[in-house]
Amino acid sequence: MARDSQAALVALNRFGFGARGGASGDLVNAASDPRGFVKAELARPNGVLLEAPGLQSTPQLGQAVFAYQDQVKQAREAAKAAAPTEPPQQAPTDQKPGLRRNLSLNAVATGIAGQMSDAKPADNAAKPDTMQPGASAPPAAKPAPQPLNVIQKTFRAEALARLQRATLVECGFTERLVVFWSNHFCISASKGELARIWAGAFEREAIRPHVLGRFADMLKAVEQHPAMLFFLDNQQSLGPDSRAGQNRKRGLNENLAREIMELHTLGVGGGYTQEDVTSLARIITGWTFAGRQGQLGTPGSFAFNANAHQPGPQTLLGKTYEATGLAQGEAALADIARHPSTANFVAAKFARHFVADDPPPALVARLRDVFVKTDGDLKAMAMALVDSDEAWKAPLTKMRSPYDFLVASGRLLARVPEDPGAYINNLNLLGQPLWTPAGPNGFPDTSAAWAAPEGMKLRLDIAAQMGARLGPNIDPLDLLEFAAADAASIETRRTIERAESRQQALALLLMSPEMQRR
Amino acid sequence: MIDCVESRLLTSRRSLLLGGAVFAAWAYLPKFAHAADGRDPRLIVVILRGALDGLSTVAPVGDPDYAGLHGSIALAADGAHPAIMLDSFFALHPSMPEFARMYRDQHAAVIHAVATPYRDRSHFDGQDVLESGYAGPGRVQSGWLNRALEALPRGERVSSGLAVGPTTPLVLRGNAPTVGWAPVALPQADDDTAMRLVDLYRHRDPVLASVLSQGLQLEKAASGDDMKPKPGNQVAQMRQVARGAAKLMAADDGPRIAALAFDGWDTHANEGGPVGRLAFLLGGLDGALAEFESGLGDRWRDTVVVVATEFGRTARINGTDGTDHGTGTIALLAGGAVKGGRVISDWPGLKLANLHEARDLKPTTDLRSVIKGVLQGQFGLSDRVLAETVFPDSAAARPMKGLVA
């Protein structure tokens, strides 16, 4: 069987999240049939869907937020009357021999046991599982860690499910596709409590089922998802001539309509005008989600509010859409999805993400043609990418995003995350907070954006910590074999061989061009 | 901040430490005074990763071949930064005044031309041998210090070893229970790792080389003068780590045995002589020893600190003003329990014919003999236990007598 390690690198890194360490044999498998290795994942039925115990639907999560908000309100009112109570002390448990436990200077100095509080898994808390000396400070009783609220718990559970899937899958191509489309149709968890609790469900419900399906179906699922409607304010948008619009002072909000055309489909310069934006905004008035009172349906579910919908026919991109209520918008989206500008925009972005910042024009043209010919079959487009020569010939020069880098590192180290806290913290540090891009255009997708001075320095610090933690137990040269085998550069191999410790060797391996570029 | 990767091991360890009963094992221990001699001994093992240049730390200035071999980085008893004469032959690096003071007070000693049984030049394997206590690199998952702990009378004088740092060093890994502590300060990659990475990028990825260099410079600019101790600076970190460990060990019911590692001793290029990179690191080590002394207070009297490294460096400097992987090096002992004021060495000489493989200081003392001598002096471990359990198959390396006062 012919072995092509260079092609294996492409299969694993360009299309996937890198090789897994341990006994996976990923590099060998990929080297014997690189294209087949990548395509195998696309063939797996339901391989993109993500289900994990405890993950809930968007309406269930919406109701959980409403209930939580009610609780907070009640607690606040109750607190006004009642006096504050002491936080409960944590009960000590039996220790077991033979394992390292961590130690507090304060506790030793004062003989007080039972205050080993590392139990603060808050999303932003960057705490190691060891204690601060503070030897001269008086032993302040630490408050019991704040229990996570339902929003934080959900966010972490969704993050963990996604991270575990990315760490465990064989190649990672489908998960890369999920991340690509999720970033294309991004929402931001920083928008508010609903966006935060819905961030994972949005991806599971609106993105994953369509990643190997049709673009038009994904578009519809995304634009009708409560998370997107909330993120881009469409639930506030009222048709000026609708009953609700006439009763209230508020009117049209163009936010979602504009981003649909600018960011989700046609692209800037895709041939639409301000008139079209306003028109689409009118067309999708009434697209909202049912609120806590449930007047429009199950609280937290998508709803069409006819009372807020602008009556009458609308003209969009030269075509008139009759007043058919919800169907008016669905027809408009279906047409936008198969617009030639959409095909161009999507094909170029797809090629840029997977192949190069400046993708080969012939490749973009071919992907566009496939998109057009198949009426937006995203699996066909992904297959066309894998079948292209360009994707296998272009040098591996794309910079891994922080998410890619952290997942690739976890895979190589064969560590299945059981707690998403460290990933969440590191993504915050590295400027790619999970499901939280700065704007509706998503995280940047060029090498220059991620190969930034501060970012690289922080990556090195994180790699050094991983080295310090995990280095003693690994053989760095074995790991290099798993990561790149004979496709590793001589310089990288030498740098790792000559490191002064396994810890340092691991840090250098994780930072090597083979691990940073894809 | 922690690594991005949570392992099952880490998670289960975390759930244990949340229990908080870390000190229960010590709570019922008697006050530790040893019935016979009233001593309450403590042992700290410091591992210098990267292979310390023993010839630049304790320089044989009396050897006629030394200055020529070590060239521009050789120490001398005169000049702008004179080395500190320990006796008529050996001189200490000028960046170690605290160790010099301990030495004058007879509480520090040097053992020169030592090595483990390892004779090859891989850091990884060298560290395995140094820490596992086995004669060859075998990927054994326990260390000699842990096995020494196990051999002590249980529940009597010492119960748990203290592992300082984010992980337990191999030397302290094993069946005997350990506790861990690490300073919380945001750990940063050390300069040596950064330098190596920039070098790799220069050869393979010029864009990343330039970007990372800028990032490193930004950080330097933000933190000011490179040579002054400050948070994040390697020297400050060494002191901080030692201060924390000493504080824990000074407590009546604190751990008696600790192990920690300092990185960055692999001086292939620009090693520096009386000033420079090695000087900077030795200053950090010196500061750490001083922190142990002051932090342990009255307990310093019964303490031995052993400083050891996986192997030495070449006797002759290389083409980049550094030294390459060698063999013979030094071990340092410091502490009130050390019978000090001596450089202990069966000096092999630096004539070409006397060098190991015509490159390295020839080892004439087995490091295991030194460590065995300390373990025996501090804890009374028998020759047999030391030769069979702590350092398997090491009967030929007899415990060195008289190291502990």
pLDDT tens profile A241-296: 999 999 987 889 999 999 999 999 999 999 999 999 999 999 999 999 999 999 99
Question: What distance in Å separates the CA atoms of residue B310 and residue A460, rounded to the nearest whole number?
Answer: 25
Q: Is A367 helix (H, G, I), strand (E, B) or coil?
A: helix
Residue of B323, B292, B239 lying closest to B50 (CA atoms): B323
B281: tokens are 């690191």
**Confidence at A143, pLDDT banded by 50, 70, 90:** low
Query: Which residue among A133, A456, A500 places its CB closest to the CB of B247?
Result: A133
Q: In chain A, what residues touch B181 (CB-CB under 8 Å)?
A: 102-105, 130-131
Instruction: Note if the pTM is more than 0.90.
Output: no
Q: What's the pLDDT at A472?
A: 87
Is residue A401 within 8 Å of residue A7, measured between CB atoms? Answer: no
For residue A113, the tally of other CB atoms under 10 A from its CB is 18
Partners of B58 in the β-ladder: B92
More confident residue, A253 or A108: A253
B19, pLDDT greater than 60: no
Query: Which residue among A101, A413, A456 places its CB closest to the CB of B17?
Result: A101
CA distance A95 to chain B (A): 6
- The three-point CA angle B77-B80-B85 to 5° equals 20
- Contact residues for A124 (Cβ-Cβ < 8 A; gap 6+): A425, A428
B21, pLDDT greater than 90: no
CA distance A15 to chain B (A): 21
B389: tokens are 């359990």
Q: In chain B, what residues touch A98 (CB-CB under 8 Å)?
A: 175-177
B204, pLDDT greater than 90: yes
Question: What distance in Å separates the CA atoms of residue A176 and residue A233, rounded to the nearest whole number?
Answer: 28
Is residue B262 within 8 Å of residue B238, measured between CB atoms? Answer: yes
* Residue of A17, A105, A108 to mutate for B, most B C-beta atoms under 10 A: A108
Hey, are the CB atoms on B13 and A129 less than 8 Å from each other? Answer: yes
Is residue A203 within 8 Å of residue A48, measured between CB atoms? Answer: no
Q: What's the pLDDT at B18?
A: 26
Hey, are the CB atoms on B211 and A421 less than 8 Å from each other? Answer: no
**Confidence at A473, pLDDT banded by 50, 70, 90:** confident
**Confidence at B399, pLDDT banded by 50, 70, 90:** very high
- The three-point CA angle A411-A412-A413 to 5° equals 90
Q: In chain B, what residues touch A465 (CB-CB under 8 Å)?
A: 1-3, 166, 187
Q: In chain B, what residues touch A504 (CB-CB under 8 Å)?
A: 49, 192-193, 196, 263
- CB-based contact (8 Å) between B324 and chain A? no
Place of tokens 């840090």: A507
Is residue A339 within 8 Å of residue A317, measured between CB atoms? Answer: yes
Q: What's the pLDDT at A106?
A: 52
CA distance A117 to chain B (A): 6
Residues B208-254 pLDDT 10s: 999 999 888 877 665 554 433 344 577 888 998 999 999 999 988 78
What mean pLDDT, rounded, does chain A reach?
89
Q: In what order do the strands lie in the sheet with B58-59?
A: B58-59, B91-92, B84-85
Hey, are the CB atoms on B16 and A99 less than 8 Å from each other? Answer: yes
A271: tokens are 């041939």
Question: What distance in Å separates the CA atoms of residue B274 and residue B77, rounded to the nearest whole number?
Answer: 10
Q: What's the pLDDT at A131?
A: 29
Is residue A317 within 8 Å of residue A336, measured between CB atoms? Answer: yes
Query: In this complex, how many residue pairs, one in chain A and one in chain B, have their CB atoms less than 8 Å apart?
Result: 289
Hey, are the CB atoms on B187 and A426 less than 8 Å from each other? Answer: no
Mean pLDDT of A387-399: 97
- CB-based contact (8 Å) between B125 and chain A? no
More confident residue, A281 or B13: A281
- CB-based contact (8 Å) between B203 and chain A? yes
Please state the φ and ψ torsions of residue A258, each to the nearest 5 degrees.
Answer: -65, -45
Q: In chain A, what residues touch B215 (CB-CB under 8 Å)?
A: 452-458, 460
B314, pLDDT greater than 70: yes
Interfacial B residues in 7-46 facing A (CB < 8 Å): 7-8, 10-14, 16-25, 27
For residue A85, the tally of other CB atoms under 10 A from its CB is 6
Number of Cα atoms under 13 Å in the Cβ half of residue A463: 27
Q: Are strands B342-344 and B108-115 parallel, antiparallel or unpaired?
A: parallel
First to last CA, chain B: 43
Instruction: Please name the residue of chain B whose CA is at the shortest distance from the CA of residue A414.
Output: B7
Radius of gyration (C-alpha) of chain A in whole angstroms? 26
Please state the φ and ψ torsions of residue B22, each to the nearest 5 degrees.
Answer: -55, -35
Q: What's the pLDDT at A80?
A: 87
Hey, are the CB atoms on B2 and A129 less than 8 Å from each other? Answer: yes
Dihedral (CA of B119, B124, B127, B131) sign:
negative
For residue A441, the tally of other CB atoms under 10 A from its CB is 14
Instruction: Please name the residue of chain B whose CA is at the shortest distance from the CA of residue A412.
Output: B5
Residue of B135, B115, B132, B118 lying closest to B395 (CA atoms): B135
Question: What distance in Å separates the CA atoms of residue A113 and residue B18, rounded to the nearest whole number?
Answer: 11
Query: Which residue among A103, A117, A421 places its CB closest to the CB of B179?
Result: A103
Q: In chain A, what residues touch B27 (CB-CB under 8 Å)?
A: 113
**Confidence at B96, pLDDT banded by 50, 70, 90:** very high
Query: Which residue among B19, B165, B179 places its CB closest to the CB of A93?
Result: B19
Q: What's the pLDDT at A211?
A: 97
For residue B148, the tally of other CB atoms under 10 A from its CB is 31
- The three-point CA angle A170-A171-A177 to 5° equals 125
Q: In chain B, what residues touch A451 (CB-CB under 8 Å)?
A: 207-208, 211
More confident residue, A140 or A396: A396
Query: Which residue among A116, A410, A504 places its CB closest to the CB of B17?
Result: A116
B13, pLDDT greater than 90: no
Place of tokens 């064989």: A170
- Contact residues for B244 (Cβ-Cβ < 8 A; gap 6+): A105, A133, A135, B164, B181, B183
Question: What distance in Å separates the CA atoms of residue B72 and residue B55, rounded to the nearest whole number?
Answer: 13
- CB-based contact (8 Å) between B275 and chain A? no
Residues A13-39 pLDDT 10s: 999 999 999 888 999 999 999 999 999
Question: What distance in Å separates the CA atoms of residue B16 and residue A320, rounded to the nearest whole number?
Answer: 67
Q: What's the pLDDT at B253?
A: 79
Q: In chain A, what residues touch B24 (CB-CB under 8 Å)?
A: 92, 95, 113
Instruction: Give the C-alpha distances (Å, rounded to integers) separating A68 from A124, A152, A194, A294, B393.
Output: 21, 12, 11, 16, 66
B40, pLDDT greater than 90: no
B89: tokens are 């032959």
Q: Are strands B178-181 and B342-344 parallel, antiparallel or unpaired?
A: unpaired
Mean pLDDT of B162-180: 86
Secondary structure E strands in A294-447: 302-304, 314-316, 319-321
Is residue B349 within 8 Å of residue B315, measured between CB atoms? Answer: no
Mean pLDDT of A373-401: 97
Hey, are the CB atoms on B188 and A472 less than 8 Å from each other? Answer: no
Residue of A377, A375, A385 lying closest to A339 (CA atoms): A375
- The three-point CA angle A505-A511-A514 to 5° equals 105
A183, pLDDT greater than 80: yes
Interfacial B residues in 219-238 facing A (CB < 8 Å): 219
- CB-based contact (8 Å) between B85 and chain A? no
First to last CA, chain A: 25
CA dihedral of B243, B244, B247, B251, whole degrees rounded to 10: -160
More confident residue, A48 or B215: A48
Q: In chain B, what residues touch A126 (CB-CB under 8 Å)?
A: 1-2, 186
Question: What distance in Å separates the CA atoms of residue A160 and residue A171, rounded to the nearest whole number?
Answer: 19
Q: What's the pLDDT at A84?
A: 58
Question: What distance in Å separates the CA atoms of residue A88 and residue A144, rounded to the nearest whole number?
Answer: 6
A45, pLDDT greater than 90: no
Question: What distance in Å separates the CA atoms of residue B288 and residue B307, rounded to the nearest whole number?
Answer: 11
Mean pLDDT of A485-514: 96
Query: Which residue among A119, A413, A512 places its CB closest to the CB of B18?
Result: A119
Which letter, b or e, does each residue of A394-417 get, where b requires 16 or more Cβ atoms within 10 Å of its Cβ?
bebebbbbbbbbbbbbbbbbbbeb
* Residue of A124, A156, A423, A457 to mutate for B, most B C-beta atoms under 10 A: A457
Mean pLDDT of A199-224: 98
CA distance B214 to chain A (A): 5
Q: What's the pLDDT at B215?
A: 87
Question: What distance in Å separates the CA atoms of residue A289 and residue A250, rounded to the nearest whole number?
Answer: 18
Instruction: Give the C-alpha distances (Å, rounded to integers) separating A493 from A17, A467, A506, B326.
Output: 21, 17, 12, 21
Q: What's the pLDDT at B212?
A: 94
Question: What distance in Å separates the CA atoms of residue A462 and residue B193, rounded to the nearest whole number?
Answer: 12
Hey, are the CB atoms on A108 and B253 less than 8 Å from each other? Answer: yes
Name the least confident of A90-94, A419-423, A455-459: A90-94
**Confidence at A173, pLDDT banded by 50, 70, 90:** very high
Q: Is A199 helix (H, G, I), strand (E, B) or coil?
A: helix
Hey, are the CB atoms on A422 and B49 less than 8 Å from each other? Answer: no
Hey, are the CB atoms on A508 and B196 less than 8 Å from each other? Answer: yes
Taking 3-state DSSP, the helix, strand and coil percentages for chain B, each rounded to the nearest 5, stand at 40, 15, 45
Query: Which residue among B7, B199, B215 places its CB closest to the CB of A415?
Result: B7
